[in-house]
Amino acid sequence: MNADSAAYWSDVLVDAAMIVWAVALVAFAADWAFAPARTARRERVPVAVGAGVPAETEPADEVTSAPPAPTTRWFGVGTGTLVLGTVVLGIAVALRGVAAGRVPWANMYEFSTTGSLLVAAAYLLLARRYDLRSLAVWVTGVLVLTLGLAVTVLYVPAGPLVPALQSPWLVIHVAAATLAAALFTIAMVASALFLVRDTADRRGATGRFVSRLPRAEALDRISYRVTAFGFPVWTFAVMAGAIWAEYAWGRYWGWDPKETWSLITWIVYAAYLHARTTVGWRGRRAAIISLVAYSTLLFNFFGVNIAFVGLHSYGGV
Amino acid sequence: MTQTLPRQQDPPPSTPPALGPVELARWAWRQLTSMRVALFLLFLLAVAAVPGSIVPQREANPLAAADWADRNPGLAPWAERLGLFDVYSTPWFAAVYLLLTISLIGCILPRIRLHARALRAAPPAPPRRLDRLPAHERWTSKTDPDRAVAVAERVLAEARFRVATPADTRAEQPGALAVAAERGYLKETGNLLFHLALVVVLLAVAVGGLFGYRGSVLVVEGDGFANSPIQYDGLTAGPAFDVGDLPPFALTLDSFVVDFVTDGPAAGSPADFEARVRLTRSPGAEEEARTIRVNEPLSVDGSLVHLLNPGYAPVVTVRDTSGEVLFSQPVPFLPQDETFTSTGVVKVPRAGSDDIGLQAVFLPTGVIGPNGPQSVFPGLGNPVLVLTAWTGDLGLDDGVPQSVYRLDTSGMTQLTQDGEPFRAALDVGSSAELPGVGSVSLDGVSTWVNLQVSRNAGKELALLGAALAVLGLLPTLFVRRRRVWVRAHLADAVPATSTAPAPVTVIEIAGLDRVESGDDLHEELATLRRAIEEETG
C-alpha cells in the first residue's frame, strides 16, 4: 500500500470509527434510559463465615464487587460497537503512521485521533477491572465529540515532520502526554459524575438519572485511581519534553507557553492528589480541583496552540 | 506538601495569638507547613505562572515582547511595572515558589524523622475493639491461642508484613495474645523521595540560573564565529557566570542547507536544516568537520551549539558610475512569512559623497502576482530581489547604534526614474542602473543561520531530580500502607455438654489501610484467614 492510499483509507476509517462510536453512544444512551433504576443501597450484609461465629462485614467496595448495576441488552450493543469502533480507529491511526512515514502524533488532528484511541482503550481495559458501566455513555460522548472535532476542525493531510520534530523524543514525549491526557479524561468524567451524584445525595434527590450512577464514594475512588495512574505518566511526559527541549532548543525549560501550561496542569493535579488526602478537602473540593486540572489540560492542548505563539506552534490547528 | 498521615489532621487555622515573637514565629511556621497553606501556595503558583504565557517573555522571545508592547501602548507601562515581560524572574513569582519550597522542606523534614523512627519501630499494638476496623473477621478454632498466634505470625511474615507480637494489654479478654503487622513502608519512603527530588530539581534550576549563559549569533554561510562575548548579537548570563568560562572554540560555517518539501500537501514546509562546520576547540587546535541539525546540536566542552532560525543572504554588489566596486557581500535578510519572503537593507557608506541605501525584498521563488511580486515557495526556485534606492546621509557616523535591518531615511532622498520612485527587480546574475549613482547587481544567494550557544548549568542535577521524582511517585501512588492485627484468646464459656476439654480459641483478624482504602482489603484478610485456618484447623 503506498502512502497516498494509506492516507486515504486512514481518513475513511476515522470517519467510519466515528460513525460506529456514534452508534455505541446511542446504544449506551438507550441503556441508560431503559434500564431499571439501581436499588443497591449501602447496607450491612450479614455474611456467614466458616464454622464459627457469624460475622458482619461491610459490603466490599462497589468499584469491584457491587451488585451488578442493572443493564439492558442495549449495553451489550454499546460495548460491542465501542470495541469495534476502537479497532477501526486503531487501524486508521496505524495507516496514518504508514502514510506519513512516522509516528502518527505530530499535529492536533493526530493528537486527537490517537488520544481518542487511547481513551477508548484505557476505558475498555479499566472496565475489565472496575465496574465502569455507568461511565460508558459519558466516555463515549467525549470520544465522539473529540473525533468529530478532529475530523471537522483540526484535520490536516498526512505529511512529513518539520525539522524540529524529527527526533526519537517525539515518540516518547508525545506518547506519554497523550496517554496521560487519555487517563485524565476518564478521571474527569468520573469527577463530574461524582459532583452530580454528590449534589443529588445532598438534596435527597432519588431520580432515575441519579439512581443509575454509582455511589459517590465509588466515583470519587475511580477518579482518584485513574488520576494516580495518569500523574506519574504526565510527570514523565513533562520530563521527557524537557530533555527533548535541551536537545532541540538548547534549554530544558524556557517558559514557552506550552511548557508553562503543562507545569500548571501538573501543579493542579498535584494539588488534587494532596487535597484528596486532606481532611476538609476530600470529596467535593477535590473533585472540583480535578475538573480545574482537566480544564488546564484542555487549554494547554487547544488554547495554547490557537491563542499563543510559542515554540510548540508547529503542532498546527 | 504532604500526602500521608502526619499532616492530615491539621487544626483549623486559628487566629494568631497575641504573644511574643517566638510564639508568633512558631505559629507562622505551623501555618506555612500546614497542608491547607501548601495547597493554597500550589494554586497560587499555578495562577502566577499564567500571565507569563499570555504576555510574551523577553528572555524567550524579545521580538514578540517588544511587538506586544507596541500593540498595547496602554497596558505596556503597567506590564513593565509588574514585571510581566519577565514574570519568571520577578520577586512576586519568586516569593511564591520560595514559600512553597520552604513549606515543602518544613513539611518533609519532620516526616523524615517520623518515618525513620517508624522504619525501626515495631508495628503498633492492636486497638481494643478489632471489630470496629474497616475489615474484620472472627472465627473459632480448636487450637490454643499460643499456636494460633505463632501461625498468624508466620503467615503474615510470608505475606511480606513486618510482624511483632506485642503484649496485648488492651485486650478485653484476659490471656489474649496478639500479632501486629504492617506493610507498605515503601509508600512513605517513595513519597519522601519524591518531595526531596523536587527540592533537588529546584536547586538545579537555581544553579542553572546562576551559572548558565545563552548567546546567539547570526552567521552567514562561509563566515566564522569565535566564542567570545563581543561576537554575540545577544548574550544573557546568570549573575555567577564569568566570561572566562566561555569555551574558547571557533567555528566556520562551510555550508548551510535548507531543504523544503517540494510536493504533496505539506509542500513548502521545511524538511531539513543542515549546517556543516569546521570546529576549532581552542586556538591552535586541529580543525574538526562537524554537522549540526535541529535536533542534533554540537557539544563543545559543556556548551551546546544549536541551529535556530535560518534565512537567505543575497550577495549584492554596488558599483559607482565608473564601475568601481563600492560594496560586495552577502546581506542577511529577515524572513517575513512561510514562503521566506524576506526584507533587508544594503548600506553603502561613501566618504566624500552621498551614501547609498537600498531597501529590498527578497523572493526565493518570485512570481509577479496580482498584488505585485511575491514568493510562492520558500526554496530557491526563482530568486528575485526587488529594491528601491536612497541617497544621502545614512546616519552611520552619528554614534547612535542602528539596526542593520532598517534604513533611516530621514536624511536621505529616494532615487527616482521618470518621475516615479526608482524600482528594480533583479535575477541572479543581472544588474540594474541606479540612476545617477551607479549600478547594483545580484551575484548569488547565500544562506545564514542563527546559532545559539548555551550552557545549562545544573541540567544533569535537574535530570537526576526529575528521574528520582518519577521513581518516588510510583510507590507513593501504588503501594498500599496496610496494617493487620490478629488476636487469639480462649472462648469464655466452654459448652457444658462438652466432655473432652478441648480448647476453643476465638481468633480475630482485622485490617486497616492508611491514607487510601484499598478494595482488596477484605480479600487479603480472607486469604490470610484461610492460610491461618489451614494450619490451625
**Contacts of residue B322, Cβ cutoff 8 Å, sequence gap at least 6:** none
In a domain, A190, yes or no: yes
The predicted structure's pLDDT at residue A312: 59
Q: Assess whether A233 and A306 both reside in one domain.
A: yes
Tally of CA atoms within 13 A in the half-sphere of A157 that contains its CB? 12
Q: Which residue of A has its CA nearest to B205?
A: A253
Domain boundaries, chain B: 5-119, 123-184+480-536, 207-310+452-467, 313-446
Candidates A26, A20, A267; CA nearest to A136 is: A26
Query: Which residue among A133, A160, A187 closes a domain?
Result: A160
Cross-chain Cβ contact A235/B3 below 8 Å: no
* ∠ Cα B425 B428 B434 (to 5°): 45
- The contacts of residue A214 (CB under 8 Å, 6+ apart) are A62, A63, A66, A69, A131, A134, A193, A197, A222
User: How many residues are recorded in chain B?
Assistant: 537
Q: Residue B129: name the closest of B140, B142, B138, B118 by CA.
A: B138
From the number of C-beta atoms within 10 Å of its C-beta (0-12, 13-18, 19+), residue B364 rates as buried
Residue B298 CA, chain-centre distance (Å), reads: 21
Q: For A166, which of B64, B261, B294 is closest by C-beta distance?
A: B294
- Backbone φ and ψ for A304, nearest 5 degrees, come out as -65, -40
Cα angle value A272/A275/A281 (rounded, 5°) = 125
Q: Look up residue B311 and give its amino acid.
A: G
Packed helices A136-152 and A175-203: angle between N→C axes, nearest 10 degrees? 130
Is the residue at A51 inside a domain?
no
Q: What is the pLDDT of residue B47?
A: 92
**DSSP summary character for residue B4:** S
d(CA B292, CA B452): 12
Does residue A27 share a domain with residue A122?
yes
CB atoms B138 and A53 under 8 Å: yes
Q: Shortest CA distance to B133 belongs to which of B510, B395, B499?
A: B510
CA distance B61 to chain A (A): 9
Q: Does residue A222 share a domain with residue A176?
A: yes
Q: Is the pLDDT of residue B73 over 80?
A: yes
ipTM for the complex shown: 0.81
B139 and A270 in contact by Cβ < 8 A? no
Residues A4 and A112 in one domain: yes
Residue that is written with C-alpha cell 526584507 in the block? B343
Interface of A with B in 154-173 (CB under 8 A): 156-160, 162-164, 166-167, 169
Is A278 near chain B, with CB under 8 Å?
A: yes
* Architecture (CATH level 2) of domain B123-184+480-536: 2-Layer Sandwich (3.30)
Cα distances from A174 to residues A110, A139, A178, B214, B533, in angstroms, run 11, 22, 6, 27, 52
All residues of chain B having their beta carbon less than 8 Å from the beta carbon of residue A260 are 49-50, 52-53
Which residues of chain A are within 8 Å of residue B57 when distances are taken between CB atoms? Answer: 255
Whole-angstrom Cα distance, residue B6 to residue B3?
Answer: 9
A144 and A175 together in one domain: no
Interface of A with B in 40-79 (CB under 8 A): 49-53, 55, 57-58, 60-61, 63-65
Subunit contact A158:B8, Cβ cutoff 8 A: no
Q: Is the CB of B136 less than 8 angstroms away from the CB of A57?
A: yes
Distances (CA, A) of A296 to A94, A150, B174, B468: 29, 19, 59, 26
Distance CA A21, CA A23 (A): 5
Q: Backbone phi, then psi, for A89, in 5-degree steps?
A: -65, -35
How many residues does the structure list for chain A? 317
Q: Which domain holds residue A245?
A: 162-317
Q: Is the model's pLDDT at B495 over the cut of 80?
A: no
B466·A247 Cβ contact <8 A: no
> Under a CB-based contact definition with an 8 Å cutoff, are residues B35 and A278 in contact?
yes
Chain B residues with CB under 8 Å of A233 CB are none
Residue whose C-alpha is closest to residue A240's, from A154, A314, A178, A310: A178
Give CA–CA dist A192/A292, Å, rounded.
Answer: 11
B157-165 average pLDDT score = 91
**Are A273 and A175 within one domain?**
yes
State the nearest Cα–Cα gap between A263 and chain B, in angstroms: 8
Q: In the structure grid, which three cell numbers stand for residue B420, read together?
A: 516615479
pLDDT higher for B352 or A109?
A109
A94 and A241 part of one domain: no
- pLDDT, position B240: 84
Q: Are residue A208 and residue A176 in the same domain, yes or no? A: yes
Considering only CB atoms, B297 lies closest to which of A169, A247, A309, namely A247
Q: Find the largest Cα–Cα distance for chain B.
A: 136
The secondary structure of B240-308 as a DSSP string is T--GGGS---EEEEEEEEEEE--SSTTTTSEEEEEEEEEEESSTTPPEEEEEEETTB-EEETTEEEEEE
SS3 A55: strand
Collect all residues with Cβ–Cβ distance below 8 Å to B471 and sequence separation of at least 6.
B190, B193, B197
**Nearest Cα to A107, choosing from A153, A144, A141?**
A153
User: Looking at chain A from residue 218 to 247, which residues have their Cβ under 8 Å from any Cβ of chain B?
Assistant: 221, 224, 228-229, 231-232, 235-236, 239, 242-244, 246-247
In a domain, A43, yes or no: no
| Cβ within 8 Å, pair A309-B469 | no
Look-up of cell digits 563600492: B326
Whether the predicted pLDDT of B196 surpasses 90: yes
* Contact indicator for A204, A254 with CB cutoff of 8 Å: no
Give B395-434 pLDDT, tens digit per residue: 877 767 777 788 888 888 898 888 889 999 999 999 999 9
Single residue among A126, A145, A160 that ends a domain in this structure: A160
> What is the bridge-based pairing of β-strands B372-375 and B384-392?
unpaired
Which of the residues A126, A274, A288, A313 would you substitute to probe the B interface, choosing the one with the greatest number of B C-beta atoms within 10 Å?
A274
The C-alpha cell at B372 is 505585485
**Cβ-nearest to B459 among A52, A246, A268:** A246
Which residue, of A160, A187, A211, is where some domain finishes?
A160
CA of A56 vs chain B CAs: smallest distance (Å): 8
Q: What angle do the packed helices A175-203 and A216-249 form, to 10 degrees? A: 150
Dihedral class, residue B419 (left if φ above 0, else alpha if ψ from -120 to 50, else beta): left
* Domains contained in chain A, number: 2
> Are both A153 and A175 inside the same structural domain?
no
Residue of A nearest to B12 (CA): A280
Contacts of A117 (CB under 8 A, 6+ apart): A86, A89, A90, A93
For residues B83-112, average pLDDT:
89
End-to-end Cα distance, chain A? 28
Beta strands in B416-531 (DSSP E): 416-417, 420-421, 424-427, 431-434, 438-455, 482-490, 505-513
**Residue contact B265–A61, C-beta within 8 A:** no
State the distance between the two ends of chain B, measured CA to CA, in whole angstroms. 48
Per-residue model confidence as pLDDT tens for chain A (317 residues) = 677 888 888 999 999 999 999 999 999 988 888 876 555 444 444 443 333 333 333 344 444 444 455 677 888 899 999 999 999 999 999 999 888 888 888 888 998 999 999 999 999 998 888 778 888 999 999 999 999 988 888 888 877 777 777 788 888 998 999 999 999 999 999 999 999 999 988 888 777 777 778 888 888 988 998 999 999 999 999 999 999 888 888 888 888 888 999 999 999 999 999 888 776 778 899 999 999 999 999 998 887 777 766 665 554 44
- For residue B172, the 8-state DSSP code is S
**Residue A125 at interface with chain B, using a CB cutoff of 8 Å:** no
pLDDT recorded at residue B181: 94
> What is the SS3 assignment for A56?
strand
Which cell numbers hold the place of B129? 475493639
- For strands B424-427 and B420-421, give the pairing: unpaired
Helix axes B35-49, B91-120, angle to 10 degrees: 140
Number of H helices, E strands in chain A: 12, 2
Judged by a CB distance cut-off of 8 A, whether residue A148 touches chain B is no
What are residue B260's DSSP bridge partners?
A: B270
My answer on whether A136 and A285 are in the same domain is no
Q: Residues of B with CB below 8 A from A55's CB?
A: 136-139
Chain A residues closer than 8 Å to B56 by CB: 309
DSSP structure string for A122-189: HHHHHHHHS--GGGHHHHHHHHHHHHHHHHHTS--------GGG-SHHIIIIIHHHHHHHHHHHHHHH
Condensed to tens digits (0 to 9), the pLDDT of residues B7-56 reads 444 455 555 556 788 888 888 888 887 888 888 898 999 999 998 888 88
Amino acid identity for residue A14 in this structure: V
A247 to chain B: which residues are within 8 Å by CB? 295-297
- The answer to whether position A42 is within a domain reads no
Distance of alpha carbon B42 from alpha carbon B47, whole angstroms: 9
If 0-12 CB within 10 Å is exposed, 13-18 middle and 19+ buried, where does residue B345 land?
buried
A280 and A251 fall within a common domain:
yes
pLDDT value, residue A41: 43
Query: Are A256 and A312 within 8 A, CB to CB?
Result: yes
pLDDT of residue B497: 54
Asked if A255 lies within 8 A of B516 by C-beta distance, the reply is: no
C-alpha pair distances (Å), B304 with each of B208, B223, B280, B456:
14, 19, 14, 9
Cell (9 digits) for B395: 546616519
Residue B457: closest C-alpha in chain A: A251
Q: Is residue A49 part of a domain?
A: no
Strands B325-330, B303-320: parallel, antiparallel or unpaired by DSSP?
antiparallel
